[in-house]
């Protein structure tokens, strides 16, 4: 089978496994808020989805996204997309070209690098898996990597998979460096709602920062596919020409997103309580396994990376052993070929029972994974 077919069959198998504990994709599996359920049911029952939604999203939703980010409605605009990933693809297609370069961190999120390369840009990855630097990008590293041909500085913040987030001072410096070379800051804030004191690049670089917004993680709508990009209205005018959802995004998904934003404060309070409790449970389990460690704790995302390199265990082997117990976690190589052999990643916006099951089987899984070299392909 081709690698695309193999990958598809792999995820299809995971999806059809009703017993699976999804601890690998930072998705949110907590039971949805009743207001979101109601909005979904009303949308389906009224059959409003026979019509296309407006190309940039329902106006109410667009305004609610701007408000949620705390940005000014007069100058900033949201463009609703099929998830954050479609927003990232659109921005890369619109701004990258042969001769330009795209600067990001390693680890980070891999798909935008693919979009940038496809648009002809050279991709420059700055290594940040470094305990001495606190697992974060430094302004000096960024200044060294950019030049007059840098079109996009892509910052995943909070960083997936590391779980760090940047301070106002760091963000100000990153934006100043981008401004000096005329680059855009593509600020992927997919996980911002799990972070403490998150700072938007748009608040210090309103003219050239593009904020990437997702409903998959905080609200749990991953399979419904809805997200957005937010930027200055002049820039959105330009980016909109490259959007692929010229006939609008899912009507039903947008209704769920609108309902979610209306109850967000109440919903997130509960989600955060559960996911922080889950982070603490993973920490406890890791502390009881000599050789395992948590490079970043607590995490500003809804996930933690667990280092297993000191035990000589391959992340893929651990993933394969846990998969036999219906637990899906992510091997580090999904995020970074360079540092991927050191860690696995575990998502925490899941029912407490799922995390407890992971913690319970961890010691035995480590033993079984030791020396296991022949593992199936993972994606």
Ligand X SMILES: Cc1ncc(COP(=O)(O)O)c(C=O)c1O
84 in contact with ligand X (CB under 6 A): yes
Contact call for residues 294 and 369 (beta carbons, < 8 A):
no
The stretch near ligand X (CB under 6 A) out of 52-60, 83-91, 286-294, 364-372 is 83-91
Half-sphere exposure of 316 (CA within 13 A, CB side): 14
Nearest CB to ligand X, comparing residues 293 and 347: 347
CB of 8 to ligand X, least distance (A): 17
Residues 35-64 touching ligand X, rule: CB under 6 A, are none
Q: In the bound complex, what is the minimum distance in angstroms from residue 199's beta carbon to ligand X?
A: 17
CA pair distance 217, 241, nearest whole angstrom: 27
Give the x-and-dash track for 138-157 against ligand X (CB under 6 A). Answer: ------------------x-
The H or E element containing residue 81 is strand 76-81
Task: Name the residue nearer to ligand X (CB basis): 208 or 225.
Answer: 225
Rounded least distance, CB 222 to ligand X, Å:
5
Residue 188 in contact with ligand X, rule: CB under 6 A: yes
Q: Is 166 in the site for ligand X (CB under 6 A)?
A: no
Q: Which of 216, 278, 336, 349: binder of ligand X (CB under 6 A)? A: 216
Q: Which of 92, 222, 306, 355 binds ligand X (CB under 6 A)?
A: 222
When asked if residue 171 is in the footprint of ligand X (CB under 6 A), the reply is: no
The stretches of the chain forming alpha helices (DSSP H) are 3-16, 34-46, 59-69, 83-95, 111-118, 139-145, 168-181, 233-240, 251-262, 264-287, 315-324, 352-369
Nearer to ligand X (CB atom), residue 90 or residue 279: 90
| Span near ligand X by CB under 6 A; candidates 69-77, 214-222, 229-237, 292-300 | 214-222
Q: Which residues contact 277 (CB under 8 A, 6 or more apart)?
A: 352
Name which of 327, 372, 369 is nearest 350 in CA terms: 327
Binding-site string for ligand X from residue 93 to residue 112, where x marks contact by CB under 6 A and - marks none: ----------------x---
DSSP count for the chain of H helices, then E strands: 12, 12
Q: Of the ranges 13-21, 78-86, 314-322, 336-344, which one interacts with ligand X (CB under 6 A)?
A: 78-86
Q: What are phi and psi of 121, to 5 degrees?
A: -80, 155
Q: How far is the CB of 81 from ligand X (least distance, A)?
A: 8
Complete edge-to-edge strand list for the sheet that includes strand 303-307: 303-307, 343-347, 330-331
Q: Applying CB under 6 A, does 190 fall inside the site for ligand X?
A: yes
Starting at the earlier edge strand, list the strands of the sheet with 76-81.
76-81, 227-232, 209-214, 184-188, 150-156, 101-106, 122-127
**Coil, helix or strand for 373?**
coil
Closest CA to 343 of 175, 136, 129, 139: 129
Instruction: Give the x/- contact pattern for ligand X in 16-35, rule: CB under 6 A.
Output: ----------x---------
User: Please, are residues 349 and 302 in contact by the beta-carbon 8 Å criterion?
Assistant: yes
By C-beta, is 28 or 100 nearer to ligand X? 28
Q: Give the pair of three-digit tokens for residue 319.
A: 């993933």
Q: Which residues contact 205 (CB under 8 A, 6 or more apart)?
A: 175, 178, 179, 185
Residue from 40, 61, 69, 85 that binds ligand X (CB under 6 A)?
A: 85
Position 214 contacts ligand X (CB under 6 A) = yes
The residue among 184 and 369 lying less far from ligand X, judged by its C-beta, is 184
Residues that bind ligand X (CB under 6 A): 26, 83-85, 109, 156, 160, 188, 190, 214, 216, 222, 227
């Amino acid at each position: 089978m081709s690698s695309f077919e193999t990958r598809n069959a792999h995820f299809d198998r995971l999806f059809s496994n009703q017993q699976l504990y999804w601890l690998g994709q930072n998705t949110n599996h907590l039971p949805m808020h009743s207001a979101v359920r109601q909005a979904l049911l009303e949308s389906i029952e009224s059959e409003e989805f026979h019509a296309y939604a407006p190309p940039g999203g329902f106006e109410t939703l667009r305004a609610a996204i701007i408000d949620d980010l705390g940005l000014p409605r007069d100058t900033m605009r949201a463009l609703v997309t099929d998830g954050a990933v479609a927003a990232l693809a659109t921005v890369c297609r619109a701004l990258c070209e042969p001769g330009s370069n795209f600067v990001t961190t390693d680890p980070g999120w891999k798909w935008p690098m693919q979009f940038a390369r496809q648009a002809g840009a050279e991709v420059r990855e700055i290594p940040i898996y470094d305990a001495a630097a606190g697992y974060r990008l430094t302004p000096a590293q960024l200044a060294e990597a950019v030049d007059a041909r840098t079109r996009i500085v892509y910052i995943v913040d909070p960083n997936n998979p590391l779980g760090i987030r940047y301070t106002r001072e760091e963000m100000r410096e990153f934006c100043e460096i981008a401004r000096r070379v005329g680059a855009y800051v593509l600020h992927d804030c997919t996980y911002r709602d799990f972070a403490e004191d998150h700072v938007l690049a748009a608040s210090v670089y309103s003219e050239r920062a593009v904020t990437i917004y997702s409903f998959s993680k905080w609200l749990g709508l991953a399979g419904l596919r809805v997200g957005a990009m937010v930027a200055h209205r002049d820039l959105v005018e330009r980016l909109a020409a490259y959007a692929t959802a010229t006939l609008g995004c899912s009507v039903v998904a947008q209704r769920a997103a609108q309902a979610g934003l209306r109850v967000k404060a109440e919903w997130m309070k509960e989600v955060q309580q559960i996911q922080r409790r889950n982070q603490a449970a993973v920490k406890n389990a890791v502390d009881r396994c000599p050789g395992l460690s948590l490079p970043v704790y607590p995490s500003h995302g809804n996930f933690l990376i667990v280092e297993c390199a000191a035990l000589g265990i391959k992340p893929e082997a651990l993933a394969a052993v846990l998969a036999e117990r219906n637990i899906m976690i992510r091997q580090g190589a999904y995020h970074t070929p360079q540092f991927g052999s050191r860690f696995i990643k575990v998502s925490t916006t899941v029912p407490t029972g799922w995390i407890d099951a992971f913690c319970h089987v961890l010691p035995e899984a480590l033993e079984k994974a030791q020396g296991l070299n022949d593992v199936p392909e993972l994606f």
